[in-house]
Amino acid sequence: MSYVQFVGVAGDGVADAHRPRTKRVVLIVLLAVVLLALAASGWLAMRVLNAKSALEQAEVLMRTVAAQLADGDRSGLPAASEELSALTAMALEQTQDPIWSAAEAVPMLGANLGAVRAIAESAELIARDAVAPLAAAADTLTLDVIKPVNGRINMESVRHLADIAGPAAAAIRSAARTIDAVDFDQTLPPLSAAGRSLAEQLAGALPVVDELDTALQLAPDMLGSSGPRSYVLVFQNLAESTALGGTAAALTELTIDDGVISIGRQASSQSFGRDLNVPVLPVDPGVAAVFNPYMYATLNLATSRPDFPTAAQLAAAFWSRDIGGAPDGVIAVDPVALSYILKATGPVALSSGDQLSGENAVALLLNGIYLRYPGEDGPDLTDAFFAEAARAVFTALTQSTGDTAALASAVTRGVDEHRIMMWSAHPEEQAALARTPLAGILPSDNTAESVTGVFFRDMSVSKVDFYLQTAATLTSDACTAASPTFTTDVELHSMLTQEQADALPPFVASGVWRGEKFKTQVFVYGPPGTTLTGATITLGGDAETFVGDAGTDLGRPVATYWVMLSPGETVGLRATFAGPEGVYGPPGLRTTPMLNATTTTVNAEGCPAG
């Protein structure tokens, strides 16, 4: 037997001898792996249950915190915040384990574990960077700390709130991004429902958070923290409708220096030049084609375009040219918004003996005062009345001892209805304002909402819109069709009788037609990117009621109508727009904030409720 053969035979013998031992070793290893897998599974299951329990308790506590913030009873906020921080930190700690991380790579199981981790991360971030700082400032977390006292706002309190709001808003935005990145379609139904609910809550909170953060970040400089600021307050006369509300009837200068607010010069529309050949700013041919160039030469018409930055820049230019000084910004308010504010502050006394209140402000300022002074000196007397009313309301705002929450609610309502608007001459501030309802800007795309606009402009040189009723109905298949249509029906109705019209003073009834009829322009703006496919008069009207030239403005097609209304008459019109294939949010309707609010209806089959 050769050496090689010997080695081979010997090797076979050794291998045969070791086979049973090798099998035992493999079996032991496999058993160990199984035991470790079972242990890891049990460990992981325990951590999942712990995280689930902590998050469920945190959700209940988060609702309690939200209720405490909303109700104004913040006495229990510090304790609730401490408990919330502990629960969310526990939930997050459960997900930060090597076994958990490894299991996230397992198909199906991993998607659920990743979703739980994302929810835990988001909850812990909100508890740490949003709720905890708010709880620490619970004693000062009230609107009263920024309420003017004796004409002064406490700037230290404003800066303190701004320091809290910035990180809190950033935390909520970050949490929303984290949750949005999770594909809850790949998770179990209970987890999917919880994740989607959290995503909806965060999405609903973001606009409010962004607006509050923007306001508080801008507030110090805008309130004169870095030097005195000058603003022009424009009082819009809703008895003469324009797209943004009403003509710029009275203007008041507000000066703010490190929180100290004072009233300065005042002017009426009669204080400004009216030479139609001398525009206050270079004329935009596109804008002039829709509204005519007179809005650049006559302050009354500055609010003709449904874009407050345009109106504000014109008003600032008129003020600078004819009164003097470059305003830092322009604020618009109308009598309906003033009525909301007066309901919170209480009535104010005027030298005329009138008590201007939330109940009578609209009727007195937009009709009663004109009937009181019907003579040739009527415009001068009404201008003086408006100026005193503006000073009185300003004093009420800055000296009020009324309920701060009610006042904040009144102002918020005015902003939401586009009756209070603001523009800043400082680009960085204006960029931030443009993201809020204060800006008075139409959406530039259809992503969030496909907005159609219906806007009115009195062309009678009258004050008869006190007697005008309007309605607008939008019908669209934007939620069901790839290439949607948007059809808008508009009605205008004069509530006047001929007898009432005959009794009106000339400058109320219009010196042109003297109560026989009244002319109104109507502008219907289609959603961005759509095309005007039809414009008709559907009800009433005479030869002087007709469809004007179509145009474009603000990236939108515009249908224009000239409507002549006699006392008691109703006129109807329709505009239809077609959109190409693309992304369309639910259809929405924006209208001029009229003295008598426009009745609006949106018919949109297949769109989500609300």
Packing angle between helix 378-399 and helix 335-345, nearest 10 degrees? 40
User: What domains lie within the chain, and their CATH numbers?
Assistant: 15-222 (no CATH), 229-424 (3.40.630), 442-603 (2.60.40.1170)
Residue 24's Cβ-count burial label (10 Å; 0-12, 13-18, 19+) is exposed
How sure is the predictor about 284, in pLDDT bands with cuts at 50, 70 and 90?
Answer: very high
Residue holding tokens 């987890």? 191
* Whole-number pLDDT of residue 188: 85
How sure is the predictor about 410, in pLDDT bands with cuts at 50, 70 and 90?
Answer: very high
Q: Give 293-319 pLDDT, tens digit per residue.
A: 999 999 999 999 999 999 999 999 999
CB atoms within 10 A of CB 191: 19
Q: Give 126-150 pLDDT, tens digit per residue.
A: 889 888 888 887 766 666 777 788 8
CB 423 within 8 A of CB 407: no
* Whole-number pLDDT of residue 292: 92
Mean pLDDT (the chain, rounded): 87
Q: What is the DSSP string of 71-121?
A: HS--TTHHHHHHHHHHHHHHHHHHH--HHHHHHTTSTTHHHHHHHHHHHHH
What value does the mean pLDDT take over residues 208-215?
A: 80
Residue holding tokens 């309605």? 471
Q: Minimum mean pLDDT among 105-109, 192-196, 274-278: which range?
A: 105-109
* d(C-alpha 47, C-alpha 250), whole Å: 67
Closest CA to 47 of 93, 114, 109, 8: 93
Q: Minimum mean pLDDT among 402-411, 421-430, 524-533, 557-566: which range?
A: 402-411
Q: Nearest 5°: phi and psi at 352?
A: -75, -10
Strand order in the sheet with 229-242: 260-268, 245-257, 229-242, 329-333, 420-424
Torsion of CA 477, 478, 483, 489, to 10 degrees: 60
CB 600 within 8 A of CB 591: yes
pTM recorded for the entire structure:
0.83
Amino acid at 317: A
CB 586 within 8 A of CB 459: no
* d(C-alpha 151, C-alpha 294), whole Å: 38
Residue 505's Cβ-count burial label (10 Å; 0-12, 13-18, 19+) is middle
Q: Give 225-264 pLDDT, tens digit per residue.
A: 999 999 999 999 999 999 999 999 899 999 999 999 999 9
Length of the chain: 610
